[in-house]
Amino acid sequence: MPRKTADGSTISADHQVLQAIWRQAYANPKGLTIPCGTEAQATRMRFSLYNSVKYFRSGKYEPDEKLARAIDTLSISFTPDKCGLQLIPKVLSGMMPQLLAMLGGVVPKTVDELLLEEAAARIAKMAIEQVQEEPKVKTDAEIRAINYGARG
């Protein structure tokens, strides 16, 4: 049964199945291999998979979180015999393994993660500076004003 989107348009049942494949591949750390039988079927399936998420990739619609992560992190490639497809994490495809090896096998942090770390470091530094400041000694007049509720 076609599903309605936020703007009232529908997502076909075929696209729902293909989007479920994207989610399934994302859920598996090593991705997913789809045997297609022939090279022509593999090519059609590849187009169909990309077609099922094209409105999300273009920013027209907002996908659910799992589908969004699948779209961002997975790539589709042909199996070595060209008769199947592999939906695998981008970090496992192409030149990425070699590039990761150059970085010591560590996936670099995102810009958001780096900004959060910098903000946390600034906040921690400010907190330490505040604690290390000499406490201001109040004068007798300030103490009397506080005790009697007068504004100083």
b/e string for 10-41 if b means 16 or more Cβ within 10 A? ebeeebeebbebbbebbeeeebbebebeeeee
Given pLDDT bands bounded at 50, 70 and 90, which one contains residue 40?
very high
Percent of the chain with pLDDT over 70: 78
The overall average pLDDT reported for the chain is 82
> Do the Cβ atoms of 44 and 38 come closer than 8 Å?
no
Closest CA to 17 of 74, 67, 58, 85: 67
What is the token pair recorded at 44?
A: 């059609």
d(CA 149, CA 152): 9
The pLDDT value given to residue 25 = 93
pLDDT digits (tens, 9 = 90+) for 76-115: 999 999 999 999 888 766 666 667 677 776 767 777 888 8
Q: Any idea which of 31-35, 109-113, 125-129, 138-142 has the lowest mean pLDDT?
A: 138-142
What pTM, to 2 d.p., does this model score? 0.57
